[in-house]
Amino acid sequence: MTRRDRHIRNASLRLIEAEIRNYHQTVQTLRELEESIALPGQGEFGNGTRSTEPGDPTPARAYKMMTSAQLLEIRRRVDAIEYMLRVVQASPEPGRYDLIRLAYWDGRYTVMGICDKLNIGKTTYYRWRREALQLVAERLGWEI
């Protein structure tokens, strides 16, 4: 693996971790963007003017919702994280989901604190974390 490849891999891992940390905010943003498209005259996608043209605006809104690059990318990332969460929750080791929760959403614990709380070793912590990140990366089509 070249130095450039390692750099790209590490940057991808950091991006995935940032996406997991911001998952709840991203879901909220996704809802708000979808509402701004679905509800006329509101948010970023509505311009607040009335159309004098006859017809039903629903197909145009649906088209915007299906083709907005921003929405598609946010949905793709949220879906990848939700896939990872389903997999770790279904794992026979119940601590896997707790690791994600404590490491990315709680913010109060160090690696050693999480290991102590879950009664696992550092090696297990890093393996579980790597496997979770790998699930997200595979779903996004990224190589890490």
Residue 46 in this model has a pLDDT that exceeds 80 = no
Q: What are 86's two structure tokens? A: 């389903």
What is the domain range of residue 21?
Answer: 3-140
pTM of the model: 0.78
| Euclidean distance between CA atoms 71 and 110, whole angstroms | 34
DSSP designation for 106: I
CA angle 3, 7, 12 (to 5 degrees): 150
* Mean confidence (pLDDT) of the chain: 86
Residue 54 in this model has a pLDDT that exceeds 50 = yes
CA torsion angle 101 133 127 123 (round to 10) = -60
In the predicted model, what is the mean pLDDT of residues 1-12?
92
| Euclidean distance between CA atoms 62 and 64, whole angstroms | 5
Domain count, the chain: 1
Tens digit of each residue's pLDDT (9 = 90 or more) over 103-116: 999 989 999 999 99
